[in-house]
Amino acid sequence: MTDTIRPEDQVLVALEDGKTFLIRVRVGQKHSTHKGAMEHDDVIGRSWGDVLITNTGARVYLLRPRWIDRMMKVHRRTNIMYPKDAAFLIAALGLQAGARVVEIGSGSGAMTIALSRAVLPGGMVFSYDRRPEFLELARDNTAAAGIEEGLVFRLREGGEALEPGVDAVFTDVPEPWAELDAIATALRGSGRFAAGTPTYNQAERLAGALPGFGFTMVETAEILVREILARPGKTRPGHRMVGHTQLLTTAVKITAPGEDDLASDSGRAAPDTGADPPEEGSGGSS
């Protein structure tokens, strides 16, 4: 990391009112905010953490962006995976430097950024999507976030084979139970699986299907985060919070295909929960 801001760096511009903007600084350009404008040339060469004054006299802080800032500010055409969910999933998947992970549903690339940051250096993320335009968008967003290694994007239809011998698989698609055969084949023994689903019906059906494919320790959780306004003498919860975003289902693979009766063809059909199928477009929030 450099101590000063260089051309083409992404900078998190934070205003005193709490609003933030992620910009890529380029010679000769300008960025305007509701608190005034700033010249990129005035940003280049400054130290990270410096304070800059806009043309209206407002103070802005020039900060080094975190991966969660890059996640939340990607150009998007789908719903987004929130940092509160991504952080839990990275821990649940046991990701660390050198791990190999598959992502089914590239979306806008927000979760791809989080997965890549978790497994680099030395790891690999194989990101699949059935729509070329999403792959292109995810590729552009990850490149803008500075991820240039350890990442492969692939076009794939549902149910097709995945990269074999991986440590973890994450899915963000409307019918994750339909991918379990391919996922079980791709995962190493004791490999970790996780899925994000927006509805209870989807989470219920997925949880019911996982044991039939050789998975155990099936758990579903929801992460809620509430801001606390900590002020001398008047600390209280904030008026707004990010509530329901995704139901997060996790599991561990304990058998390879064919090693256990649970993995037999007779046990591979997803159980009928009586729930209606998810609406078109459910899932795909990365």
Q: What is the pLDDT of residue 284?
A: 55
Query: Does 2 reside within a domain?
Result: no
pLDDT tens digits along 123-181? 999 999 999 999 999 998 898 888 889 999 999 999 999 999 999 999 999 999 999 99
Of 67, 134, 60, which is closest to residue 95 (Cα–Cα)? Answer: 67
- Give the chain's domain count: 2
Query: Rounded CA gap, 115 and 204, in Å?
Result: 25
The fraction of the chain above a pLDDT of 70, given in percent, is 86
Q: What secondary structure does DSSP assign to 22-84, as a single string?
A: EEE--TT-EEEETTEEEEHHHHTTPBTT-EEE-TTS-EEEEEPPPHHHHHHTS--SS----HH
Q: What is the pLDDT of residue 268?
A: 45
Query: Does 261 reside within a domain?
Result: yes
**Are 254 and 142 part of one and the same domain?**
yes
| pLDDT greater at residue 259 or residue 37 | 37
**Are 202 and 263 part of one and the same domain?**
yes
pLDDT band at 9 (very low <50, low <70, confident <90, very high): confident
Q: What is the pLDDT of residue 112?
A: 94
Q: What is the CATH number of the domain that holds 38?
A: 3.10.330.20
**Are 109 and 167 part of one and the same domain?**
yes
pLDDT tens digits along 210-222? 999 999 999 999 9
**Are 99 and 150 part of one and the same domain?**
yes
Query: Rounded CA gap, 19 and 218, in Å?
Result: 39
Query: Rounded CA gap, 108 and 84, in Å?
Result: 17
Compute the mean pLDDT over every residue in the chain, rounded to the nearest whole number.
86
Supply the range of the domain harboring residue 43. Answer: 10-65
CA angle 267, 268, 273 (to 5 degrees): 90
Of 276, 286, 73, which is closest to residue 173 (Cα–Cα)? Answer: 286
Is 274's pLDDT higher than 80? no
Place of tokens 């320790």: 217
| pLDDT greater at residue 45 or residue 259 | 45
Query: Does 145 reside within a domain?
Result: yes
